[in-house]
Chain A
């Protein structure tokens, strides 16, 4: 069966510090991978998606970046966090077919102080 792991679950970081959130998927190959951010009481905003190793598409220009060093690993990074980066970050994966379901990780609550 497929599983998705996302960590850490919570993170408190000072402004200007770097960020690295990791997401890994097991039990499937060549998944589409996504990073979303959800502000309090708001919907999910797509940040990055990847259809293959090394292929990253950015949906929203900001100080975050993403990388996919391996087929089932997706990393969200920042060199210098801003207060506005606080939020709930979700990693998700889907199969390559148009009708496949998206599966979400448990999320990371990031608070930038």
Chain B
């Protein structure tokens, strides 16, 4: 069964600090991995997407890494801002009919002043 596990479930950090979110997956056959940011009551918005051959991808203060051998990914947020408070969702896509997406449960990040 395809699964995506994220940790921690929730995280509180002070503004300006860095943090790293983790994602482990068992999706097969693997196609790509995405990190999404979801503000409360809104639809998710893509931050990064990585294929099998990519180890790291940056988007401003967000840097995602992928280890396809251990099936792990991380999202590092640098110099956090209050607007970073949101849920961060790891999504893994499998090859095949419909190119199904498997979603992690998300990490709820709260940045405090």
Contact = CB atoms under 8 A, between A and B. Distances in A.
Interface of A: 6, 32, 34, 36, 41-46, 49, 51, 57, 88, 90, 92, 94, 96-107, 109
B92 to A, nearest CB: 12
Contact of B93 (A51, A90, A92, A98): A98
Contact of A104 (B31, B44, B100): B44
B43 A100 contact: no
B98 A57 contact: yes
A51 B100 CA distance: 11
B113 interface: no
A41 B34 CA distance: 20
Interface string B77-107: 0000000000001010101011111011110
A97 B32 CA distance: 11
* Size bracket, chain B contacts: 20 to 34
Interface of B: 31-32, 34, 41-46, 49, 51, 89, 91, 93, 95, 97-101, 103-106, 108
Given A43-B106, A44-B89, A102 B43 contact: no
B43 A104 contact: yes
Given A32-B99, A43-B104, A104 B45 contact: yes
Given A43-B105, A43-B106, A98 B42 contact: no
A102 B32 CA distance: 12
Nearest to A57: B98
Given A43-B103, A51-B98, A99 B51 contact: yes
Contact of A106 (B43, B100, B108): B43
Contacts of B91: 102
Nearest to A95: B99
Contacts of A92: 43
B42 A106 contact: yes
